[in-house]
Amino acid sequence: MIQEERIKALNRHSPRKRDYVLYWMQASQRTECNHALEYAVMQANERKEPLVVYFGLTDTYPEANERHYSFMLQGLKEVRLSLKDRGIAMVVRHDSPERGAVELARRASIAVCDRGYLRIQKQWRQYAAEHIECPLLQVESDVVVPVEAASEKEEYSAATLRRKLHRILPIYLKPMEERDALIDSSRSLFDSYDITDSSGAISGLTIDRSVKPVHGFRGGIREAKVQLEDFINRKLDSYVSSRNDPNADNLSNLSPYLHFGQISPLYIALKIIKTGSPSIDAFLEELLVRRELSMNFVHYNPRYDSFDGLPEWAKRTLSEHRHDYRAFEYSLEELERAKTHDSYWNAAQKEMAVTGKMHGYMRMYWGKKILEWSARPEEADRRALYLNNKYELDGRDPNGFTGVAWCFGKHDRPWANHPIFGNVRYMSANGLRRKFDAERYALKYGLDNSQPQSPPETDAENDVQD
């Protein structure tokens, strides 16, 4: 079922008779539970035309490096094979996505695209809409509830969005129906960038190679499903009690796959609901409310990636405390190399740099300490975004930008006054030790510290709450 709220015409052109229907796949990089793909199949079948799927592979996606491209191409290789099995051609162009879409749309009766929320993703679609001479229809598939259907404005917190989402969730928590393409396009001849071997495809790109691929995560829908089944079978029932313990390995590990659109949040939600687990509500809070709150933030706030995008109260209180004494200050190089006095923080930075993913609870502590150890809050915000986007597989997306902003007060409320932080929520090493065995975590990821030391005892007042 494809709800009409998911579909938006990006231009006013009328359909025409050409060679095929074009689906410009960019954000939703999958063939399963993909509203945009299924809508394109439906349009092709109604017009008795073949469907062609296009993906634009650019060298210049902001802050992307070899780690990100490798994971993405592993998934795209699966997409190409899956589309071929469905009788659908996939064309990959080594080009800026919007320009490739315009070129391929010259022979299209209509064009369909998926939706992205970041600035560059909106710019791509706007450019295409202005230059394509057939209808360009955007179909939203990487959220359960379409962003404007959930709210018409930027929400203050999870609490304000939660009420709105829960009222209309039943409308959108519906399984997808997949249709066969009536006309086979898989043997059509198009010039296409070769992604048969993802490593070989990487070698042909002019990209940042400073951060290497990770070994613990492999891209693609098959691996995403393995992670989901493992989570359901081994971890879900104890999710509530141990999700904040980095030593427990009790998270779903699905965020990299969600980031690249390799698995659908709707598919995940429906699978989780079927389990009957006591942790259903807690997990859906993260998957639906918190994740879709991040989409709300970046969609409605054009300054989502800067200090200026924070709430006024947070900017004011941090500015009032910008000259407070800091017991420790570190350079960006020292932070990036995990050379601080805090073995817990160092371990979190190393976990991210080595594995491509940091435990969510540690990411909060990690961001708070960057604020505490930087000369100015604006500098701290830039540093946190730089490190997060460089090393995290799920960086550079709404969740990443929102997670960093939360460390500086976004989607939170004012707390008791604290040096440097003002009324922004503070976190201490004591708080970690109360939550879990922080020393064990530090040992696991801090192996190259010659003399690892525990952070000093600090005032627990205003520490993060359970």
Positive or negative, the CA dihedral 341, 347, 349, 350 is positive
Distance in Å from the first CA to the final CA of the chain = 39
Q: What is the CA radius of gyration of the chain?
A: 23
Encoding tokens for residue 217? 């995560």
Nearest to 349 by CA among 388, 316, 386: 388
Angle formed by the axes of helices 360-373 and 377-391, to 10°?
Answer: 140
Residue appearing with tokens 């969730």: 169
Taking residues 416-443, report their average pLDDT: 96
Evaluate if residue 451 carries a pLDDT over 50: no
The length of the chain in residues reads 466
What pLDDT is recorded for position 98?
Answer: 98
- Local confidence band at 455 (pLDDT 50, 70, 90 cut-offs): low
Evaluate if residue 423 carries a pLDDT over 90: yes
Evaluate if residue 396 carries a pLDDT over 70: yes
What pLDDT is recorded for position 202?
Answer: 96
Evaluate if residue 73 carries a pLDDT over 90: yes
Evaluate if residue 64 carries a pLDDT over 90: yes
Tens of pLDDT, residues 299-354: 999 999 999 999 999 999 999 999 999 999 999 999 999 999 999 999 999 999 99
What pLDDT is recorded for position 447?
Answer: 58
Domains and CATH numbers, the chain: 1-141 (3.40.50.620), 143-179+221-300 (1.25.40.80), 307-445 (1.10.579.10)
Evaluate if residue 137 carries a pLDDT over 80: yes
What pLDDT is recorded for position 353?
Answer: 97
- Local confidence band at 465 (pLDDT 50, 70, 90 cut-offs): very low
Strand 7-9 versus strand 89-93 pairing type? unpaired
pTM across the whole model: 0.95
Taking residues 146-174, report their average pLDDT: 98
Nearest to 272 by CA among 144, 142, 141: 144
Evaluate if residue 381 carries a pLDDT over 70: yes
Tens of pLDDT, residues 189-226: 899 999 999 889 999 999 999 999 999 999 999 999 99
What pLDDT is recorded for position 446?
Answer: 72
Encoding tokens for residue 226? 């393995």
For the stretch 248-256, contacts whose Cβ atoms lie closer than 8 Å and that sit 24 or more positions apart, written own/partner, are 248/436, 251/359, 251/360, 252/227, 252/228, 252/283, 253/217, 253/227, 253/357, 254/224, 254/227, 254/228, 255/357, 255/393, 255/394, 255/399, 256/71, 256/217, 256/219, 256/356, 256/357, 256/393, 256/394
Encoding tokens for residue 416? 């008791």
Evaluate if residue 449 carries a pLDDT over 80: no
